[in-house]
Amino acid sequence: MQNPEICREIVRQLWPFLDGALPDDLQARVSDHLAGCVNCRSHYDFERAFLEAVRASSNFGDEFEPLRARVLAALAAEGMSIP
């Protein structure tokens, strides 16, 4: 049974974690937590797949730009940002 307070904190760190933007100790803490928490792991899998899709879309031509803009706008509405 995971402490929901800790899970909330971990989920908040997922975007910077995926970017490798966290300090090493936090990066390790999130990584350890994900290894043992199915709930946070599902958030992580979703966000990682999402991020990869967004990044992949930037490798295509301008025809994908409207989609990318919509995805980024949707993320911004959720309070998230992709550097």
Residues that bind Zn ion (CB under 5 A): 2, 7, 37, 39-40
Please spell the DSSP secondary structure of 41-58, one letter per residue.
HHHHHHHHHHHHHHHHHT
Nearest approach in angstroms of CB 20 to Zn ion is 20
Residue bearing tokens 């909330």: 8
Choice between 40 and 68, CB closer to Zn ion: 40
Q: Which of residues 38 and 77 has its CB atom nearest to Zn ion in the complex?
A: 38
Cβ at position 9, least distance to Zn ion in Å: 9
Angle at 41 between CA 35 and CA 46, to 5 degrees: 145
Tokens of 8: 């909330």
Q: Taking the complex as a whole, how short is the minimal distance between the CB of residue 12 and Zn ion, in angstroms?
A: 11
d(CA 16, CA 29): 13
Give the nearer residue to Zn ion in terms of CB position, either 14 or 37.
Answer: 37
